[in-house]
Amino acid sequence: MKRKISIALAEWKSNPKRMPLIINGARQVGKTYIIKQFGNEQYTHILYLNLEIEYDFCKFLETELSPDKIVQYLEAAKGVTVDAGNTLIFFDEIQVSEQALTSLKYFCEQAPEQHVIAAGSLLGVSINRNKHSFPVGKVQQINMYPMDFEEFLWAMDREKLSEEIMAHFAKDLAMPEALHDIALKYHQQYMIVGGMPAAVSSYIETGSYKSVQLIQNDIIQQYIADMSKYSTTATSVKIRACYNSIPAQLAKDNRKFQYKIVQRGGTATIFGEAIDWLQFAGIVLKCQRLDHGFIPINAYADLSNFKLYMADIGTLTLHSRIPLQTMLSPIEVDNIFLGSLAEDYVAQAFVNKGYDLFYWQSEGKAEIDFVLQIQDSVIPVEVKKGHRNRSRSLGIFANKYKSPYAIRISKKNFGFENNIKSVPLYAVFCI
């Protein structure tokens, strides 16, 4: 399947100052598939090592980190010739080996001619670095996320529809109602299927949401297994409790994360490490509250107040146990949790675009779902699940912080009125 990260991989390969590359991401987002595809298309050979099963190689790294020695070992052990520039060395599941991660530093310093990519599901979480430090400044890092809605349309062979969406977004021009309805239908499907490539492939092949949910459930079980595998027993219990609380957290009117929902008497001291684990594992997305809407907005983040979203909307839909008939209803259902799902979907889309996640609350009742810094402007964003979208908060924020315009995301068609840019739910990837 076509993925946007392929462009970044091609740029990395052609960069004369190229460093070893680390692709970070949760399990099952497609890291291994896309890197192997890239290797097969761009190199004569690809040397693939899954460090979860390469026990002998990991043992060798305990005593030797020299790139020349590593290459010699791999040539002898695998019966291959490593031709610098024509061979891609791919360390998969690099979080298993602290030494493998450290070796990337030496590839950068001593063997820059070698093309090395590493992928990790829990990078920065699972490794207890007592002897070796992270190779800061010696590696390039790219975060990979589940497929966004545009990539979903590509997979569904609807690339022309995505092009029409982008064109109408740029002009604030309403889509023809027939196309608008078609795009909303695909978005409805995406809210259930989500962006995990295996789930998308299953849906394309079978058209069955049940088969999709079987795959999503398997992914959740892998997450749970990792919670035990890569943390202590006590910490894994806390991680799972925080993870399981997310639907309940999002169901509240005030979606700020509350430790007491996880456990009576819960505090940041008790659960802070567990939340960090989920975040670094790529399973959840953290959205910080802003004290002010000034540039740069990240300088005004309130670190103690935040919301948590799941990184994949399909997994959240399954995990929340919302009935599929509610999701697929042809009429606008008065279900508050659908608004929570819409927010999560937007959060996922923004992170895919490279935005940091922030929200804003006034001392009164005004709240802005998301605040984006777009170049030198601060733009408030409001998310609505349906067509009804009255709110005073956008105007309050825009007036207070002199925003040039505001964005309202809903089921309504494109438009621009009263300094509010109307963006349909299916077009968030354009923002």
Q: Of 143, 162, 193, which marks where a domain is finished?
A: 143
Q: Are residues 201 and 260 in the same domain?
A: yes
Q: Are residues 105 and 172 in the same domain?
A: no
Does 281 have pLDDT greater than 70?
yes
Residue span of the structural domain in which 263 resides = 149-430
Q: Are residues 311 and 358 in the same domain?
A: yes
What local confidence, expressed as pLDDT, does residue 133 receive?
Answer: 67
d(CA 105, CA 111): 10
Q: Provide the pLDDT confidence category of residue 398 given band limits of 50, 70 and 90.
A: very high
Query: 294 is written with which tokens?
Result: 């000034």
* Between 208 and 281, the higher pLDDT residue: 208
Does 189 have pLDDT greater than 80?
yes
DSSP structural state of residue 322: -
What local confidence, expressed as pLDDT, does residue 153 receive?
Answer: 98
Structurally, the chain folds into a number of domains equal to 2
Q: Provide the pLDDT confidence category of residue 43 given band limits of 50, 70 and 90.
A: very high
CB 127, CB 101: distance < 8 Å: yes
Note the pLDDT tens digit of each residue in 143-160. 999 999 999 999 999 999
d(CA 27, CA 146): 10
| DSSP H stretches of helix in 334-405 | 336-352, 393-401
pTM of the model: 0.92
Q: Are residues 307 and 417 in the same domain?
A: yes
d(CA 195, CA 198): 9
CATH number of the domain bearing residue 135: 3.40.50.300
Note the pLDDT tens digit of each residue in 292-325. 999 999 999 998 999 999 999 999 999 999 999 9
Mean pLDDT within 214-230: 92
What local confidence, expressed as pLDDT, does residue 120 receive?
Answer: 87
Q: Are residues 91 and 122 in the same domain?
A: yes
Query: 412 is written with which tokens?
Result: 């309504």
CB 182, CB 164: distance < 8 Å: no
Q: Are residues 128 and 209 in the same domain?
A: no
Q: Are residues 384 and 344 in the same domain?
A: yes
Q: Are residues 199 and 321 in the same domain?
A: yes
Q: Of 92, 122, 143, which marks where a domain is finished?
A: 143
Q: Of 143, 162, 192, which marks where a domain is finished?
A: 143
The DSSP H or E segment spanning 169 is: helix 159-171
Q: What is the mean pLDDT of the chain?
A: 92
What local confidence, expressed as pLDDT, does residue 228 receive?
Answer: 87
Does 129 have pLDDT greater than 60?
no
Does 265 have pLDDT greater than 60?
yes
Strands lying side by side in the sheet with 415-417: 370-374, 377-383, 406-410, 420-424, 415-417
Q: Are residues 375 and 410 in the same domain?
A: yes
Q: Are residues 186 and 206 in the same domain?
A: yes
Q: Are residues 139 and 155 in the same domain?
A: no
What local confidence, expressed as pLDDT, does residue 125 receive?
Answer: 53
Q: Are residues 164 and 202 in the same domain?
A: yes
